[in-house]
Amino acid sequence: MADRRARIVLVTLSDSFSSTIEAMAQDAALAIDRWTPEGDQSWPDATAAVWLLAGGEETAALDLLAELPTNGASVFVIGSSTDHRVAAALLKGGASDYFALPGDADVVRRTLDRLVQQEGERQAADSFADAERGSVGFASVIGESAAIRRVVEQAKRVARHDNVTILIEGETGTGKEVLARAIHYHGPRAAGPFVEVNCTAIPDNLIESELFGHERGSFTGAIAAKQGLFELAHGGTLLLDEIGHLPIELQAKLLRALETREIRRVGGTKTRAVDVRVMAATHVRLAQAVARGEFREDLFYRLNVVSLRVPPLRDREGDVELLAGRFVSDLATRHGLPTPALSPEVLSALRGHPWPGNVRELRNAIERALVLSPPGTLELEQLWLERDDIPAGDRAHSLLPFPAPLENIIRAAVAAMVELTRGNKSEAARMLGISRPRLQRWLSEDTNEPTDQ
């Protein structure tokens, strides 16, 4: 049976800490290979990391760093010197991190544990990729309308070309992420990771570290070096969702990464090659954002090599019924409910609704109606497509306050969604596509809505 443990390579220049590191690695359930600079053995395959044991030979370690055939694996140096200049020189020379023993023993243990965790995640991702390829392929893009089939055919053609950057545009909820996954799992990078990040979900001061990684000590709280999403997506695909909201000051760094296929971690001096296909998705018209000065023109053209636009649900004639049928079947199974038939009245209501929230709104409406209706049924009134039960005065009060400052309009929209979901803030946040804490922050601006304690 193949050994599926994460593997490290020990390169020994000094025996000072050899037994210590071996014991730590064994405690972490790591497999160990050994390599010596003077030997003629080949470099081990599938290496998670290299540990260069200097222990008083830090100068020799610095000379050896450039010669190690690491195949892109991280290199950690173990020494005895606590001189920060030694650490800085090693990091500049290409080391991922430097640990001085015995003081950094706990940090070494955490780093070894993290290697085990990352290998487990990688293997799980590989297994998931094999299983997911059939379920998230182009068959998962449900619809027979000419509008959606045209986009799918374009996506199938571009999926074969693994280094082409793709920009996927479309309104919120149209299924841009579903299309991106289908492209990944039907292309040459299908065996590699599919990594997704929503640019609106990460605070501006952390998104650079999230994308490119950081070195230990690069900012408060950076107690260990961390790989960024570009490195985690190596050999696969990185989807930058809601790219239109990427801070303008970070767009230049992203452009450089796309053009050079190299990244530099926050606080680091070493550039790292990354083999990643980048896809970007946005509900914002980037060309208009460029005209407004909110998005770099050069980055827009770099991303817009191939552009796919996912049509809104209102333009997909006949697809509402197909999607509704699939959602009813899948969600009833998920919730352990009998699968109901859709009545002519329900189908008529679904066809007549404009679906401003697109496929996501339809799915949420079906799920809500399933769980609120008696088992085995789906009641029209539980779809909440028309709120005729709201008194006229309340309905007028719930209208968005035009004209008004943007923040007032957003606050009113959030409050209206909470009202629509009858006070269920988690459901309101999901339907708005924001986190519950962000929804609560908007509500807390309203003196009539107390903040959760």
Using the structure block, give the residue that is written with the tokens 């946040």: 429
Report how far residue 255's alpha carbon sits from residue 251's, in angstroms, rounded to the nearest whole number. Answer: 6
**Any domain includes 282:** yes
Report how far residue 309's alpha carbon sits from residue 283's, in angstroms, rounded to the nearest whole number. Answer: 10
The 3-state DSSP composition of the chain as helix, strand, coil percent (nearest 5) reads 45, 15, 40
CA 344 to chain CA mean position, Å: 40
β-strand partners of 33: 9
Could you tell me if 259 and 374 lie in one domain? no
Q: Please check the confidence at residue 232 and state whether its pLDDT lies above 50.
A: yes
Lowest average pLDDT, out of 137-151, 325-339, 433-447, goes to 433-447
CATH number at residue 337: 1.10.8.60
Is the CB of residue 116 less than 8 Å from the CB of residue 6? Answer: yes
**Any domain includes 453:** no
Q: Which residue has the higher pLDDT, 447 or 156?
A: 156
Q: Please check the confidence at residue 309 and state whether its pLDDT lies above 90.
A: yes
**Any domain includes 112:** yes
pLDDT for res 200: 87
Q: Please check the confidence at residue 388 and state whether its pLDDT lies above 50.
A: no
Classify strands 262-264 and 271-273 as parallel, antiparallel or unpaired: antiparallel
Domain that holds residue 425: 392-444
The arithmetic mean of pLDDT across residues 317-342, rounded, is 93
Report how far residue 357's alpha carbon sits from residue 354's, in angstroms, rounded to the nearest whole number. Answer: 9
List, for residues 147-160, the tens digit of each pLDDT value.
999 999 999 999 99
Is the CB of residue 7 less than 8 Å from the CB of residue 48? Answer: yes
pLDDT for res 324: 96
Could you tell me if 181 and 242 lie in one domain? yes
List, for residues 25-55, the tens digit of each pLDDT value.
999 989 898 888 776 677 776 677 889 888 8
Give the highest mean pLDDT range of 77-86, 272-281, 381-390, 412-421: 272-281
* Tally of structural domains, the chain: 4
| pTM score over 0.75 | no
pLDDT band at 238 (very low <50, low <70, confident <90, very high): very high
Measure the CA dihedral 315/339/133/175, to 10°.
20
pLDDT band at 76 (very low <50, low <70, confident <90, very high): very high
Could you tell me if 298 and 437 lie in one domain? no
Could you tell me if 302 and 320 lie in one domain? no
Task: Please report, as a single letter, which amino acid is at residue 399.
Answer: L
pLDDT band at 216 (very low <50, low <70, confident <90, very high): confident
pLDDT band at 3 (very low <50, low <70, confident <90, very high): low
pLDDT band at 448 (very low <50, low <70, confident <90, very high): very low
Residue 181 belongs to what H/E stretch? Answer: helix 176-185
Report how far residue 291's alpha carbon sits from residue 294's, in angstroms, rounded to the nearest whole number. Answer: 8
Q: Which residue has the higher pLDDT, 120 or 89?
A: 89
Report how far residue 217's alpha carbon sits from residue 227's, in angstroms, rounded to the nearest whole number. Answer: 14
Could you tell me if 145 and 102 lie in one domain? no
Could you tell me if 108 and 146 lie in one domain? no
pLDDT for res 392: 39
Is the CB of residue 32 less than 8 Å from the CB of residue 22? Answer: yes
CATH number at residue 142: 3.40.50.300
Instruction: Give the residue among 278, 286, 4 at the shortest CA–CA distance from 162.
Output: 278
The arithmetic mean of pLDDT across residues 216-244, rounded, is 90
Looking at every residue in the chain, the average pLDDT score rounds to: 85
Could you tell me if 319 and 207 lie in one domain? no
Helix residue ranges, H only, 292-420: 297-303, 319-334, 344-352, 358-372, 392-398, 406-420
CATH number at residue 36: 3.40.50.2300
